[in-house]
Structure 1
Amino acid sequence: MAENINYSEDSIRSLDWKEHIRLRPGMYIGKLGDGSAYDDGIYVLLKEIIDNSIDEFVMGAGRTIEVSISEHKVSVRDYGRGIPLGKVIDCVSKINTGGKYDSKAFQKSVGLNGVGTKAVNALSANFTVQSYRDGRTKIAEFNKGELIREEAEKDTTQRNGTAITFIPDDSIFRHFRFIPEFVENMIWNYVFLNAGLTISFNGQKYFSEKGLHDLLLKNTDAEHIRYPIIHLKGEDIEIAMTHSQQYGEEYYSFVNGQHTTQGGTHQAAFREAVVKTIRERFKKEFDASDIRASIVAAVSVRVQEPVFESQTKTKLGSLNVGPDGPSVRAFVNDFVKKELDDYLLKNPETADALLKRILQSERERKDIAGIKKLANERAKKASLHNRKLRDCKIHFDDNHERKQETTLFITEGDSASGSITKSRDVMTQAVFSLKGKPLNCFGLTKKVVYENEEFNLLQHALSIEDGLEALRYNNIVIATDADVDGMHIRLLMMTFFLQFFPDLVKAGHVSILQTPLFRVRNKKETIYCYSEEEKQNAISRLGAKPEITRFKGLGEISPDEFGLFIGKDMRLDPVILKEANIHALLEYFMGKNTPDRQQHIVRNLRVEKDDAQTAALKETTEEETAA
């Protein structure tokens, strides 16, 4: 019989604001993470602070923002109006307090809930705010949301504005680190959306003259753009679009300056409007997939009181532009219908190039229609009992609070996949097992995705055949051995994604799993080491000749141990695409054995002083290259 628990008035407890945020951080900032994914919590904290500075710029106050990140410490200084000095503490520590409820002060702001800065405060080991306003300044310092220092107002010669410094709490964000590329990408988006704004990040300045036009130019392979970027601007809406040579569709969508990585009503409206407008312009009922194939577009709208599907604001849920305004769908449709149609009418060369790209997509679709049908039938049969896929119960396209955690591990061989399968979280972690080294698909057409059974089954497991709208896993993790063959498989899988689904990589969904190289232990303690340096530190710590095991492959790690490496302390290296020219990148590393790559190998071949064989190998390689 169950224990009788006394339930009375004493059982009811109210949490104060900081306790609630620290107890349920996911409600405020999404997933926590260690910074290895672009949407991890530490970047949401940074974004919440910068958003406030951006809102000042939008209101015409301050044209420069300074961002500094050193180790784990973040500092943001803007030159806006500054928080009213009498409300400095309330604005960063009193829930539902802020200046953005007054629509006259902040008509089209991102942060409307009075929560963002308070969440940063509560989730930081140290949080300092200083406001400069009309020759006076006030400073306050907090620890995990608790006020620990407050200085009286005093005179200052500093320009108006607000300075905030914070250190995320490492008891919540375990082993966290800021990846500069993620921060840089965030800052680029801010300047693309705010012409005239300069952001300094660790001393380097970021600025854009042409807004979304510059965004597409930076993120698209210039050699493969099929026609000049179409750039359209109106009141509260800006659009840039072109077609390229890549597969799939790629969108960058924003609401009030917030990057809505999961799209929403505005992005869906744009996709629909482009199809409708082009059909009417060319008076032909093109298949929608042919019109949107290889499209690269950026869409930015500003709406009053936006409704997002979560506090992290990654998907717009608003149906209307404002309380009394038109629907988002009608607003975007009307703008695209008029402005895009006018542009194509006035620029016949661009219209002709766009039409040719659509006709090419139509031919390519019909060319692979037969093999695609057969492949889909095979995949459908295989999905009933897909031996390659050990699926999980929650998926990224589900409306579930844990969908951000959904992960697909791509492993080599049955032994590695067996260990992961036995130790995984069956709710959110799935495993796809490769039978060996996959095909090098560089230079091949998408037909190979349907002809190659393994690629086709992987495509269906991810549900990315028609874009990322129905993506089933938020994290695609390549889990291979830390040896030469494992590295080769990583390259082949990255080639597959970059060749046919580059938007998957650009959106930050692909990572590499780090697993320990060594286990160092004595009778009292076991330490797992991911590098030679960590191994030496572990030996020094344990002393007295501890037992050292070198893991040669994932299959050698027991399921019980493997569970330690794919849980809350899982270490991931994100696949970050630094160059827009994907074709040149793949050709260099995955193309035929070019002289340039031979020279790169020769120049970077590692030679140990006591390894005569390696030295002789380098000498022989240099002689062969010279010959």
Structure 2
Amino acid sequence: MAENTNYSEDSIRSLDWKEHIRLRPGMYIGKLGDGSAYDDGIYVLLKEIIDNSIDEFVMGAGRSIEINMNDLKVSVRDYGRGIPLGKVIDCVSKINTGGKYDSKAFQKSVGLNGVGTKAVNALSSNFVVQSYRDGRTKIAEFEKGEIIRDEKEKDTTQRNGTAINFIPDETIFRHYRFIPEFVENMIWNYVYLNSGLIIHFNNQKYFSERGLHDLLLKKTDPETVRYQIIHLKGDDIEIAMTHGQQYGEEYYSFVNGQHTTQGGTHQAAFREALVKVVREFYKKEFDASDIRSAVVAAIAIKVQEPVFESQTKTKLGSQNVGPEGPSVRTFVHDFVKKALDDHLHKNPATAEALLKRIQQSEKERKDIAGIKKLANERAKKASMHNRKLRDCKIHFEDTHDRRQETTLFITEGDSASGSITKSRDVQTQAVFSLKGKPLNCFGLTKKVVYENEEFNLLQHALNIEDGIDTLRYNNIVIATDADVDGMHIRLLLMTFFLQFFPDLVKAGHVSILQTPLFRVRNKKETIYCYSEEEKRNAISKLGSKPEITRFKGLGEISPEEFGLFIGKDIRLDPVFLKESNIKSLLEYYMGKNTPDRQQHIIGNLRVELDVIEGEELPLAEAV
């Protein structure tokens, strides 16, 4: 029997605000991460600071925000009213202190609980706040939430506003770096949702005149949309939508300026309302999936005192638009019913194009029904003894906490998958093994997903046949060798995802696994290096001609070593999709324009040199 522990008054401990935030950061900012995913904690920190500046803009104070950033440090300066000077320290270091509890001052603010800025302060190795107000200024500096500098108020000629500089604490966000593409996407969303707002990010200007209409212009390919973007605006609601040629549904939803990446009651209400209005307008009971297939839409609403399902505010849980207002569902339904129906009546060309898109989806669904049934039966049988998938125990769609990290590694061959399988975390990491190079599916219809056994099994492993709402793993990691064949397999897999499941890439679920190219060691220390520069630094550090091993493939890395590279220190390169014209992108790289690609390769060749015992040897020629 275990010994009885001494449970007394001395066992009860109270943490102050910063200790609690640092001990349980996930309660305040979701997952931590290293910046390689768009929803990692360092971006939540940045968002919390910018949200305060946005609220000032919404209240009519200040039209511009300046954001400057390098890999590790961020500064944000707005030109709002400025924090009242006597409350500067309290507003960034006293929990439940802020100006947003007065609903008259901030009717429809994103941050209402007075936690955000304090979390940034507590989770930063250095945090400086300065307020400018009516010709006076006040500055304070903190380290990990502890104040280290409290300057007296003094005169200033600077315009009113607030400036905050912070450096995330590297002991919490290990090996982190800000990826500009994620920040740029966040900034675009801010300007789309706040017409007239100007944001300068690293000296580049971001501005939008037409709000969500501009957002869809950026997210869609003008050559493939079936009709001009429908843009509907009302009191506290704005919607933009069109249909394209892609598979699946694509939504961008917002509440009070907050990007609700996991949707919520407002997005669900729009999806329902769209089906209802279309059925009533055309007087035909279309299948809901045919109506929504290939839709691209954005919806933004404003509600009083929004209720989100977590502090990170990625999913709206509110049922009502205000304490005495209608339900979110009724509010969205009533607006869409009138505004969309009016638009379709006034624009018969749009109505006709929408009808043809729905009929096309209906035909495609019926054409594929037969082979889909057979393929699903085969996949069901194969799943009973599927040697390609080494599954994990926890799945993304099963957990109530959608922040749970679950990963599927897609590997080439049995040797690589064997090493990962032996070293993975069986709770949250699964492995899918390819038998070789998959089919180049560019230009093929979705029938190939069911006709090709490997694609069908991968689709079922991910559980994305009917969309990504049921995705089983929120991280899909392509793990191939860093050679020509490995790069080709990456391209073929990316073609598969972009051709049939582009929302997986757009939502940031797909990454490339970085594994070390070199192992540099002596009798006392081993250093794994991911680049030539890291190798040179390791040689310099260890000295005396250390042993250098170059890993040529994943299968050469032992399971014991592999465990070091897919755990808490995993390095991932997120896959970005900057190009809205997916068809043109795939056609160039995966189509039949061989001469064009050949010239591209010739124009981008480089020779990498390896230094071994003072000799320069050509390692590889690569694009």
Name the TM-score, length of structure 2 as normaliser: 0.97
Question: Residues of 2 paired with 1:606 and 1:93: CA distance?
Answer: 52
> Equivalent residues in 2 for 1:263-412 (5 A)?
263-401=263-401, 403-412=403-412
Q: After TM superposition, give the deviation of residue 609 of structure 1 in Å.
A: 10
Question: Residues of 2 paired with 1:401 and 1:263: CA distance?
Answer: 15
Q: After TM superposition, give the deviation of residue 554 of structure 1 in Å.
A: 0.9
Verify the 8 A CA contact 1:539 1:546 in the aligned structure 2: yes
Question: Residues of 2 paired with 1:455 and 1:449: CA distance?
Answer: 5
> Equivalent residues in 2 for 1:246-261 (5 A)?
246-261=246-261
Verify the 8 A CA contact 1:395 1:403 in the aligned structure 2: no
Summarize deviations over 1:129-180 as a string: whole Å, max 9, x none. Answer: 0111111111100000001001111111111111000001111111111111
Q: After TM superposition, give the deviation of residue 608 of structure 1 in Å.
A: 7.8
Question: Residues of 2 paired with 1:434 and 1:183: CA distance?
Answer: 34
Question: Residues of 2 paired with 1:360 and 1:120: CA distance?
Answer: 49
Partner of 1:392, secondary structure, is coil
Give the count of matched residue pairs: 615
Counterpart amino acid of residue 41 in structure 1: G
Who is 2:187 aligned against? 187
Question: Residues of 1 paired with 2:345 and 2:506: CA distance?
Answer: 33
Question: Residues of 2 paired with 1:401 and 1:14: CA distance?
Answer: 26
Summarize deviations over 1:21-71 as a string: whole Å, max 9, x none. Answer: 101111111111111110011000000000000011111111100000023
Question: Residues of 2 paired with 1:608 and 1:174: CA distance?
Answer: 29
Summarize deviations over 1:382-401 as a string: whole Å, max 9, x none. Answer: 22232211111222113344
Partner of 1:223, secondary structure, is coil
Partner of 1:469, secondary structure, is helix
Verify the 8 A CA contact 1:394 1:403 in the aligned structure 2: no
Q: After TM superposition, give the deviation of residue 561 of structure 1 in Å.
A: 0.9
Partner of 1:222, secondary structure, is coil
Question: Residues of 1 paired with 2:409 and 2:545: CA distance?
Answer: 36
Question: Residues of 2 paired with 1:463 and 1:188: CA distance?
Answer: 31
Partner of 2:173, secondary structure, is coil
> Equivalent residues in 2 for 1:492-503 (5 A)?
492-503=492-503
Q: Judging changes above 3 Å, is the alpha-carbon distance between structure 1 residues 224 and 402 closer, same or farther for their aligned structure 2 residues? A: closer
| 1:11 paired to 2:25 | no
Q: After TM superposition, give the deviation of residue 402 of structure 1 in Å.
A: 7.2
Question: Residues of 2 paired with 1:242 and 1:24: CA distance?
Answer: 42
Summarize deviations over 1:470-508 as a string: whole Å, max 9, x none. Answer: 111111100111111111111110111111111110111
> Equivalent residues in 2 for 1:409-558 (5 A)?
409-558=409-558
Partner of 1:528, secondary structure, is strand
Who is 2:569 aligned against? 569
Verify the 8 A CA contact 2:30 2:403 in the aligned structure 1: no
Greater shift in the superposed pair: 128-137 or 380-389? 380-389
Verify the 8 A CA contact 2:212 2:240 in the aligned structure 1: yes
Counterpart amino acid of residue 524 in structure 1: K
Verify the 8 A CA contact 2:132 2:160 in the aligned structure 1: yes
Partner of 1:537, secondary structure, is helix
Who is 2:133 aligned against? 133
Summarize deviations over 1:216-244 as a string: whole Å, max 9, x none. Answer: 00011111011000000011110000000
Counterpart amino acid of residue 248 in structure 1: G
Q: Judging changes above 3 Å, is the alpha-carbon distance between structure 1 residues 388 and 403 closer, same or farther for their aligned structure 2 residues? A: farther
Verify the 8 A CA contact 2:497 2:504 in the aligned structure 1: yes
Question: Residues of 2 paired with 1:196 and 1:220: CA distance?
Answer: 23
Question: Residues of 2 paired with 1:426 and 1:313: CA distance?
Answer: 30
| 1:161 paired to 2:161 | yes
Who is 2:73 aligned against? 73
Question: Residues of 1 paired with 2:189 and 2:403: CA distance?
Answer: 25
Question: Residues of 2 paired with 1:459 and 1:607: CA distance?
Answer: 38
Who is 1:176 aligned against? 176
Verify the 8 A CA contact 1:402 1:428 in the aligned structure 2: no
Greater shift in the superposed pair: 45-54 or 2-11? 2-11
Who is 2:101 aligned against? 101
Question: Residues of 2 paired with 1:479 and 1:110: CA distance?
Answer: 38
Question: Residues of 1 paired with 2:6 and 2:292: CA distance?
Answer: 62
Counterpart amino acid of residue 393 in structure 1: K
Question: Residues of 1 paired with 2:608 and 2:400: CA distance?
Answer: 53
| 1:35 paired to 2:35 | yes
Counterpart amino acid of residue 112 in structure 2: L
Unaligned ranges ≥5, structure 1: 619-627
Q: Judging changes above 3 Å, is the alpha-carbon distance between structure 1 residues 504 and 609 closer, same or farther for their aligned structure 2 residues? A: closer
Counterpart amino acid of residue 601 in structure 1: I
Who is 2:586 aligned against? 586
Question: Residues of 1 paired with 2:20 and 2:398: CA distance?
Answer: 26
Question: Residues of 2 paired with 1:556 and 1:595: CA distance?
Answer: 35
| CA root-mean-square deviation | 1.7
Greater shift in the superposed pair: 599-608 or 125-134? 599-608
Who is 2:226 aligned against? 226
Counterpart amino acid of residue 519 in structure 2: R
Partner of 2:285, secondary structure, is coil
Q: Judging changes above 3 Å, is the alpha-carbon distance between structure 1 residues 273 and 608 closer, same or farther for their aligned structure 2 residues? A: closer
Question: Residues of 2 paired with 1:609 and 1:127: CA distance?
Answer: 42
Identity %, equivalent residues: 87
Question: Residues of 1 paired with 2:384 and 2:403: CA distance?
Answer: 23
Q: Judging changes above 3 Å, is the alpha-carbon distance between structure 1 residues 607 and 384 closer, same or farther for their aligned structure 2 residues? A: closer
Counterpart amino acid of residue 510 in structure 1: V
Summarize deviations over 1:529-572 as a string: whole Å, max 9, x none. Answer: 11111111111111122111111111111111111101110000
Unaligned ranges ≥5, structure 2: 611-616
| 1:142 paired to 2:142 | yes
Q: After TM superposition, give the deviation of residue 3 of structure 1 in Å.
A: 2.5
Q: Judging changes above 3 Å, is the alpha-carbon distance between structure 1 residues 609 and 102 closer, same or farther for their aligned structure 2 residues? A: closer
Verify the 8 A CA contact 1:394 1:402 in the aligned structure 2: no
Q: After TM superposition, give the deviation of residue 607 of structure 1 in Å.
A: 5.4
Counterpart amino acid of residue 537 in structure 1: N
Q: After TM superposition, give the deviation of residue 465 of structure 1 in Å.
A: 1.3
Verify the 8 A CA contact 1:397 1:403 in the aligned structure 2: no
Verify the 8 A CA contact 2:71 2:179 in the aligned structure 1: no
Partner of 2:68, secondary structure, is strand
Who is 2:614 aligned against? none
Who is 1:622 aligned against? none
Summarize deviations over 1:318-371 as a string: whole Å, max 9, x none. Answer: 111111111111111111111000100010000000000000111111111100
Question: Residues of 2 paired with 1:400 and 1:556: CA distance?
Answer: 38
Question: Residues of 2 paired with 1:317 and 1:401: CA distance?
Answer: 14
Question: Residues of 2 paired with 1:18 and 1:119: CA distance?
Answer: 8
